Amino acid sequence: MALIGTVGFCLVFYMAGLIGILDALEDVFPRFYAHITTRELRPEIPEAVFTILVLLCLRWLAPLDAIDAWIADAALFGTLLYLSTRLHERALYIALLTLTGIINWTLWGTHPGSLVPLVILMVVNSFADWFNDHTWDFILMTLVVSAVTWGTATWVNAWDLVEATIVGVIVTVTMIASHWYGRLVVSRQQQGKRLRYSSNHDELTGIRSLHLFRRDYRTYQRLMRSNPDAHLTLVMIDLDHFKQINDTYGHLTGNEVLITFARDIEAYLVAMPYFCGVYRTGGEEFSVFLYELTDAEAKEAIDAYIKRLRDLVVMRSYPEKRITLSVGMSRVHGYDEPLKQAIARTDAKLYEAKHGGRNRVAQQTGGQTAMAD
């Protein structure tokens, strides 16, 4: 009874904690990393690093006494089986299995038969999406994998058959319960992601929203604080005569124009080798951040896009129609300049471009204004 109670209690809370921490790492850490560096990080990376640390801890726990060894072996198997249906990067999972064999051999030993569970776990990982989508198949898979793994481990390590059977049953039941718990956590996580996406992205065009525009400005301020020589340029864009497009062709066509333009300029900026971002900050108004570019380089980047725009079909029903832009540009005055102040200066340049005949760029450079068609 002591074996059942101790292993069962420890394994249930271990798996609950493991699932919770892995989901937190997948959900929070990449966003934190992107917030600090403005770069993306695959969520599998922090998950793999954390798992390696866990495996090292289990390796330390195993030799303490008999029950601790059972707990370590059960937790090790639970970790690998759960990750087999979670890690979609197969090469990363194989590397994790290899590392497990190096740092912890208490479950399978060095007997050639110990390769059998490893092969089965790799197969499970290859069909992870199938098992995750089919509950009864997952249950059957868990039963088969547990039976094969614990049977092999009992044979290789000459474990007591009764104790091995007890622990194997505990592990199997716990893994099935963990599967349900994991699905619940993932479902809530996905709901949170959808809420964050809707608050950070414009509903119509799908590009970044005004909310994210303000938040990203603070990120760029931190980057400028650590690199005082870096430049940040704010660009404000207005689609010329957009009200006329709505009045002439209808609001659905107007929406098509906004969507096409927004996705095209975002695709253009994504390909650039510098930090940048495009945001919808009003009806037909968009804003762009260009980081680490001089005034001349920022102007050249916008001019290049305006030339590209001459060939962009924005209305499928009227493919011959083109749009033009009025653009205001100005450099942010240091990492401590308030966003409202930067917007006011750039908006003044946009006003000059619009009242100077539209279809042009007005840029403030070193306290001076440059106007170009």
Burial class (CB in 10 A: 0-12, 13-18, 19+), 76: buried
Find out whether 299 and 332 touch, Cβ atoms under 8 Å.
no
Q: Rounded distance, CA 363 to CA 299, Å?
A: 8
Instruction: Please identify which of the residues 44, 266, 284, 292 carries the catalytic annotation.
Output: 284
The C-alpha angle with vertex 124 and arms to 109 and 59, in degrees rounded to 5, equals 35
Report d(CA 257, CA 251) in Å as an integer: 10
Alpha-carbon gap, residue 53 to 57, rounded angstroms? 6
Contact status, residue 359 vs residue 373, Cβ threshold 8 Å: yes
Asked if 284 is an active-site residue, the reply is yes
- 72 burial type by CB count under 10 A (0-12 exposed, 13-18 middle, 19+ buried): buried
CA 108 to chain centre: 35
Is the CB of residue 74 less than 8 Å from the CB of residue 149? no
The structure tokens listed for 259 are: 């969507």
Q: Compute the residue count for the chain.
A: 373
Q: Side-chain half-sphere of 10: how many Cα atoms within 13 Å?
A: 19
Q: Which residues are catalytic?
A: 284
